[in-house]
Chain A
Amino acid sequence: MVRDAIIKVTGLNCYFGSLQVLKNLNLEVYRNEILGVIGPANSGKTTFLRALNRLNYLNVSYSQDGEILLDNQDIKNISDNILRKKIGIIFALPQVLPVSIFNNVAYGPKVHGITDKETVGQIVEEALKKAYLWDEVKDRLNEPAVKLSGGQQQRLCIARTLAVEPKVILYDEPCSGLDPISTAKVEDAMQQLKQDYTQILVTNNTKQAARVSERCGFFLMGELVEIGETYELFTNPRDKRTDDYITGRFG
């Protein structure tokens, strides 16, 4: 079966200074899938994510070569702010701005030039609904976002990303600071978002990858060891290192 690839990565090498953190990465991300990315710390998962929307370049020592295509267009030729509007990211720790719940979500539309109050209000409501947060916050949109619980904050971050209407959403260990119930709610939101968005989930939690993703890749020391259907990868890994990692026999 040939599937439609929204992102194609070819020969990607990433460096921080002289340290190479990703080595010759080749992979495709299919439209509307949830791609899980697992691997131990320092395996290059986060660098891979942040290479996709060029956030790595915030670090001045960063450099990369290779090619990343988004809808067949080299991301080098897309300006940063347009690219990041198309590829949103959810960070590991819920990071909200110290403004109201409403203004957190409305920030994206605002910087992209949407000023009409009614339109912004609709966008905010829709985004909060898609992130499964609307019912919990609809009566207190003007309260400071920092008052929300960790799980709510993380869903607020998802809503904030949705409000700029991205095509791809990157999750960088989105549940590492959350309790199991909050985690379940974030995962529910991800399942619902599948119809409209392509999602890449980097996680330290192999069980989460198994629950949520359709395909999964295993990174180790800057290399993509293997990538395939999640069920296959977890039940019948081709590489011994993958087997060792998912069964917890590592190191």
Chain B
Amino acid sequence: MNAAKIREKVAFSILGLITLFVVAPILLVILYILKNGISTISWEFVTQAPRNGMKEGGIFPAIVGTIVLIIGAMLFSLPVGVLAAIHLVEYARDNFFTRLIKLSVVNLSGIPSIVYGLFGFTLFVVFLKLGTSILAGSLTLAIMSLPVIITATKEALESVPASFREISLSLGATRWQTVRYCVLPYALPGILTGTVLILSRAAGETAPILFTVAAFYLPRLPRTVFDQVMALPYHLYVISTQVPNMPLKLSFATAFVLIALVFLMNLVSIILRAHFRKKKLW
């Protein structure tokens, strides 16, 4: 073996080790949570409300709360984000205003989530008088998700071949018909996977829901969108730090359920992508 080959081997080994460093924390976190929490996970834990100062019972209201918030966030952010991206890619001329919007989108995604939380509190809870409610919390999560949905949609739209648009326009279709029939259907997989990914991140966020919706202890399920709800990440924070003498295994079990929910959503996104890729014809 010559010197160059040996150097290459050494370099590859180092690269491999570094990759391991990236994977290791994730694996360790999951294993640690699993090891400490799995014994508490039971049917009762995921279907019952907490009892006895949250020291007994389950976390069902928090699971429901998180799912409701995610659905609410999607209802607001998906249409707005997709329409905004369609405007940017298909209609907007390249001018100062358009560039300003694109710059805002990039910068929005860099804002810390606690800032979104405070913003949502002042705008939705106080100014618009929505109160701490599902509506306010969903809207806050939606605004946080918007930049990612816009970016994902933009990329999905731009990856549709320009020839599809030319064909459609050359046959006398209007711009909107072209977008509707010849661009959106082919961009949909990218839009959906991007949306699911950011919503799975939103599911685990505590800061945006802290002042806008999350309830400390509310065992009954919400009836209207103006109700407060418990939510998994906030519940985890509460039982880990705010309640004395809380059994530690409850925290681990709650963390496990939250991670499982996020993984489930990511899995959906992966399956969607694989499914659409198989059907891709160009």
Chain A residues within 8 Å of B, Cβ to Cβ: 53, 55, 58, 60, 80-85, 88-89, 91, 95-98, 107-108, 110-112, 144, 146, 160-161, 164
Q: Pick the residue among A60, A91, A146 that contacts B93 (CB under 8 A).
A: A60
Known: A95-B166, A98-B186. A112 touches B282 (CB 8 A): no
Set of chain A residues within 8 Å of B181, measured between Cβ atoms: 107, 110-111
Tell whether, in the assembled complex, residue A164 and residue B168 are in contact, meaning their CB atoms are under 8 Å apart: no
Convert B100-132 into 0s and 1s, putting 1 for each residue whose CB lies closer than 8 angstroms to a CB of A: 000000000000000000000000000000000
Known: A95-B166, A111-B181. A60 touches B171 (CB 8 A): no
Set of chain B residues within 8 Å of A89, measured between Cβ atoms: 170
Cα distance, A164 to B165, chains bound together (Å) = 17
Known: A60-B94, A111-B177, A111-B181. A98 touches B281 (CB 8 A): yes
Set of chain B residues within 8 Å of A83, measured between Cβ atoms: 172
Q: Is B163 an interface residue (CB 8 A)?
A: yes
Set of chain B residues within 8 Å of A108, measured between Cβ atoms: 171-173
Chain A interface SS verdict (over half): helix
Known: A81-B174, A111-B174. A95 touches B169 (CB 8 A): no
CB proximity of A161 to chain B, nearest CB, Å = 7
Cα distance, A28 to B177, chains bound together (Å) = 33
Which A residue's beta carbon lies closest to that of B180?
Answer: A111
Question: 10 shortest A-B CB distances, which residue pairs?
Answer: A85-B172, A98-B281, A111-B173, A84-B172, A108-B171, A81-B172, A98-B282, A111-B177, A95-B163, A89-B170
Set of chain A residues within 8 Å of B165, measured between Cβ atoms: 58
Tell whether, in the assembled complex, residue B171 and residue A161 are in contact, meaning their CB atoms are under 8 Å apart: yes
Which A residue's beta carbon lies closest to that of B94?
Answer: A60
Set of chain A residues within 8 Å of B174, measured between Cβ atoms: 80-81, 111
Cα distance, A146 to B281, chains bound together (Å) = 7
Cα distance, A144 to B281, chains bound together (Å) = 8
Set of chain B residues within 8 Å of A98, measured between Cβ atoms: 186, 280-282
Which A residue's beta carbon lies closest to that of B165?
Answer: A58
Tell whether, in the assembled complex, residue A58 and residue B169 are in contact, meaning their CB atoms are under 8 Å apart: yes
Cα distance, A67 to B163, chains bound together (Å) = 28
| Most chain A beta-carbon neighbours within 10 Å: one of B170, B182, B186 | B170
Tell whether, in the assembled complex, residue A112 and residue B172 are in contact, meaning their CB atoms are under 8 Å apart: yes
Which B residue's beta carbon lies closest to that of A112?
Answer: B172
Set of chain B residues within 8 Å of A110, measured between Cβ atoms: 181
Tell whether, in the assembled complex, residue B166 and residue A164 are in contact, meaning their CB atoms are under 8 Å apart: no
Cα distance, A96 to B164, chains bound together (Å) = 8
Known: A97-B164, A97-B182, A111-B181. A84 touches B282 (CB 8 A): no
